[in-house]
Amino acid sequence: MCIGSNIARAIATANNPTRMVQISSRRPEKIYRSLYDSLPEASRKQLLPPKAADVTDPTTLARAFQGADVVVSLVGIMHGTPADFERIQWRGAEHVAIYAREAGAKLIHISAIGADVQSEVPYERTKALGEQAVLKACPDATIIRPSLVFGPEDDFFNRFAKLSRIMPFMPVFGGGTALFQPVYVGDIARAVEVLSRNDPDIMKEVSGKIIEAGGPDVVTYRQIMELVLRYSKRWRPIVSIPFGIGLLQASVLEKLPPNIFTLTQDQVRQLKKSNVVNATDSDIPFAKPVATLGHGSIKKQDDQGDQHTLVPSSSDMEAQSPAVDDVPEKPYSVFSTKEKWAIVVVSSFAGLFSPLTANSYFPAIPIIAAEFHKSTELINLTVTAYMIFQGLSPMVWGPLSDRWGRRLMFIACLLLLAISCVGVALTPTSDYWLLMVMRCVQSSGSASTVAIGAGVIADIATISERGSFFGLYSIGPMIGPAIGPVIGGGLTQSLGWRSIFWFLCISSATCAMIMALVFPETLRAIVGDGSIPPPRISRPIIPIIGRNRISSDKVEKPPRKPFINPLRLFFYPEVTLLLIFNGVVYAVFYGVTASISTLFKVVYPFLNETDIGLCFLAIGGGMLIGTVAHGKVLDREYRVVKAKLIKEGSLSVEDSRNDETFPIEYARFRTMPIWLGLFTICCIGYGWALEQRVNIAVPLVMQIIMGYMIICVMNTTQTLIIDMLPAQGSSITACNNFARCSLGAGMVSVINVIINSVGIGWTYVILGALCLAVSPIMFIVMRMGPKWRAARRARKAAAEKFIDEKSG
């Protein structure tokens, strides 16, 4: 793309046959021929023969400017030594101005945003010095400073499009947060054409002025790379490279012959600063740029009223132009689907440590009791203390994450867990009290990651997709009870019980490092839909997942909420009922898992400790299958209910988009009786299979089915309570965790007592009866939930109206 060619074309086709255009450069013939071939037949007559001119040879300028009324100066280079920049962009611009003045011509000088005499970058400094020299020689000259100029066959976009063809990723420096205001080359050309007219009013308005030119969109460097990839129809990860590494890379590349990879240190330094106009809109008069980079096409409305589409014409870039009527709704989150999955995977990894830290401890209890010279009952008290803090700590960390952000709280919890693991690993066997304290601190760090992760999903996912994300997210928290005993038993047997906590320390510290490097902030009170840059401390070091983008639209950022006691959520009747329902079912499940070791050792005495640990994989496998499959089921149920209600006329299309009025309780819970019923039947059958000492395959198969069904029950309930209060995702999950751990701790403390009193079979009949006892809650919530939510909205609206009336 040649800016000069576009300016010449704009003047030649401006329906003014008295104006003639002459191309002057060191080698003007090629430019002249290309321009001549592209012009209509009638406009070709306005092209004068080209004249060679060199800004470093003033004598050639005098010949080239002879008889000119207007001189448009596009003096500039992109690469060279500091001396080259001074010779061309400073002294060359000065020569053009001097000889334009001597020719009696009006001068329009094209400079660049960022021109600064104090800049350490030669390009920017010499651009500013050139401007000073131009205005000194021609005080009535007009200077235009454009931002990044784009258009068909432009060098910038097409260069990166070609890079995307041969590189496995697209690099950006420093997160790609530098701002640009790209301006279409045709708009610059039209502006110059208007300024070149012999119009006294125009000349009076622009004489001796510096005009900054930018398009309607302000975008980050990272967004430009995303646009290049979209045009190119290629997917490449966008990788942030620290500026220090970029400067080191450029110090090598700038010494090589010019090629597609050419990069200079000055270009890297320029990306540290934004490149936008000072005013809100472009300062160009009479022809404000309206070309935009959005929606995969570049559209422009000229002053003749002819709308047309201008698309990159390189073979490496293919534009996609959606129909006007097919513009999608504004997304709930700017994160792409792949980025959302990546965020959920990292959150799930963090959520793994809550059950892993708890369950990997169980196989080591007998050895720890022997080394500490304490009874097994006293060591079991550390388990009880762990579960108490497992229920209490999310009540603090969850609301903090709703207030200060997910990312910082995630990292803080994981670091607290890592430090406490070191404490447990180094605890002397003479200090039982210290073991108890360190286990409580461990629980405080590990347990809250589950609540924070649930809040993350509420931040980035809509109701229609939340089920799938919760399914994937639950893999971490739900598989921990299965693999924890296996890991703990193996480490204890081979390296000793302290190795468990060194393993947990290394794992949690690794997760914290991953969070610090790539995990973005998602809290909507801080980043809105993800397009508002968070405070620097909340930004990932290497924003591969995080976008750090500026939205071109006005993004609503919810007000940051004060710290709210999550126990207040128990005053919501539907929340209380769901927490009781989920807590009881979870307690039954925990009773099943807590008794596996004891029962299998008695019923199947041929199993050794390692074999018993492997038996946990059956129920864990069922849970893993459930997490993968049931999320899709939840999303499908939501779509089916939505389509059904719209078809029946009981729900309008507008209401279906409103999460507050949609009957989400019915959409989530209409299949719950199936999952709970199957879990209850399998629970009772599992107990009697152990009672009758049948083949070990039978209870293991029952475990797989129970593992699948418990995921269906718990994920559905967890998703529903998040749907009800998405702005308090971590707080409500903390309440859920508190209810589950409290009831689970109670179940663990009595399950062996019940088994010893009534036997295995009847114990599991009692557990099944507990599930049936809470089953009416499903139907109460489906029937009354929407009414309770509507009443709460009405009370809130009345309170806000009362406050407005008082304040007014």
Q: CATH no. for residue 625?
A: 1.20.1250.20
What's the CA gap between 621 and 626, in Å, rounded? Answer: 9
Per residue in 78-96, pLDDT (tens digit) is 878 888 889 998 999 999 9
Does one domain contain both 457 and 533?
A: yes
Q: What is the pLDDT, as a whole number, of residue 633?
A: 80
Nearest alpha-carbon partner for 211 in 287, 274, 157? 287
Q: Which of 288, 323, 358 is the last residue of a domain?
A: 323
Does one domain contain both 382 and 247?
A: no
Average pLDDT score over residue span 259-284: 72
Q: What is the pLDDT, as a whole number, of residue 729?
A: 58
With contact defined as beta carbons under 8 Å apart, do 279 and 147 qualify? no
Q: What is the pLDDT, as a whole number, of residue 287?
A: 41
In the chain, the amino acid numbered 53 is A
Confidence of residue 730 (pLDDT cuts 50, 70, 90): low
Per residue in 522-542, pLDDT (tens digit) is 888 888 877 788 888 888 887
Does 548 score more than 70 pLDDT? no
Does one domain contain both 369 and 496?
A: yes
Does 769 score more than 90 pLDDT? yes
- Enumerate the H helices of 76-180 as residue ranges: 82-85, 91-102, 122-137, 155-166
Average pLDDT score over residue span 198-218: 83
Confidence of residue 634 (pLDDT cuts 50, 70, 90): confident
- Enumerate the H helices of 352-431 as residue ranges: 353-359, 365-372, 376-392, 394-404, 406-425
| Any domain includes 23 | no
Q: What is the pLDDT, as a whole number, of residue 651?
A: 63
Q: Classify strands 210-213 and 219-220 as parallel, antiparallel or unpaired.
A: unpaired
Does one domain contain both 554 and 511?
A: yes
More confident residue, 680 or 737: 680
Q: Which of 301, 323, 345 is the last residue of a domain?
A: 323
Does one domain contain both 247 and 365?
A: no
Nearest alpha-carbon partner for 778 in 635, 634, 675, 644? 675
Nearest alpha-carbon partner for 100 in 73, 127, 118? 73
Nearest alpha-carbon partner for 514 in 687, 343, 724? 343
Average pLDDT score over residue span 684-709: 91
In the chain, pLDDT over 90 holds for what percent of residues?
A: 12
| Any domain includes 735 | yes
| Any domain includes 116 | no
Q: What is the pLDDT, as a whole number, of residue 726?
A: 67
Does 288 score more than 60 pLDDT? no
Does one domain contain both 301 and 364?
A: no
Does one domain contain both 347 and 375?
A: yes
Domain count, the chain: 2
Q: What is the pLDDT, as a whole number, of residue 553?
A: 47
Please tell me the total number of residues recorded for the chain in this structure.
808
Does one domain contain both 733 and 709?
A: yes
Per residue in 230-249, pLDDT (tens digit) is 777 777 778 888 888 878 87
Range of the domain at 588: 337-807
More confident residue, 141 or 315: 141
Q: What is the pLDDT, as a whole number, of residue 331?
A: 67
| Any domain includes 136 | no
| Any domain includes 10 | no
Q: What is the pLDDT, as a whole number, of residue 664?
A: 80
DSSP for 87-101?
IIIIHHHHHHHHHHH
Does one domain contain both 371 and 435?
A: yes
Q: What is the pLDDT, as a whole number, of residue 33?
A: 82
Q: Which of 257, 290, 323 is the last residue of a domain?
A: 323
DSSP for 59-87?
HHHHHHTTT-SEEEE----SS--HHHHII
Average pLDDT score over residue span 428-449: 88
Does one domain contain both 412 and 545?
A: yes
Question: Which tokens hold the place of 38?
Answer: 């592209």
Q: Rounded to an integer, what is the distance from CA 466 to the centroid of its chain? A: 16
- Please tell me the least confidently modeled range out of 29-43, 102-116, 464-478, 651-665: 651-665
Per residue in 567-588, pLDDT (tens digit) is 677 778 888 888 899 889 988 9
- Please tell me the least confidently modeled range out of 428-432, 513-517, 656-660: 656-660
Does one domain contain both 573 and 702?
A: yes
| Any domain includes 28 | no
Q: Rounded to an integer, what is the distance from CA 304 to the centroid of its chain? A: 42
More confident residue, 236 or 407: 407
Does 298 score more than 60 pLDDT? no
Note if the pTM is more than 0.85: no
- Please tell me the least confidently modeled range out of 140-144, 303-307, 379-383: 303-307
Confidence of residue 552 (pLDDT cuts 50, 70, 90): very low
With contact defined as beta carbons under 8 Å apart, do 148 and 182 qualify? yes
DSSP for 413-468?
HHHHHHHHHHHHHT--TT-HHHHHHHHHHHHHHHTHHHHHHHHHHHHH--HHHHHH
In the chain, pLDDT over 70 holds for what percent of residues?
A: 86
Does one domain contain both 311 and 349?
A: no
With contact defined as beta carbons under 8 Å apart, do 507 and 759 qualify? no
Plot region of 15 (φ>0 → left; ψ -120 to 50 → alpha; else → beta): left
Average pLDDT score over residue span 505-519: 92
| Any domain includes 89 | no
Average pLDDT, the chain: 79
With contact defined as beta carbons under 8 Å apart, do 619 and 482 qualify? yes
Confidence of residue 1 (pLDDT cuts 50, 70, 90): very low
| Any domain includes 167 | yes
Average pLDDT score over residue span 425-440: 90
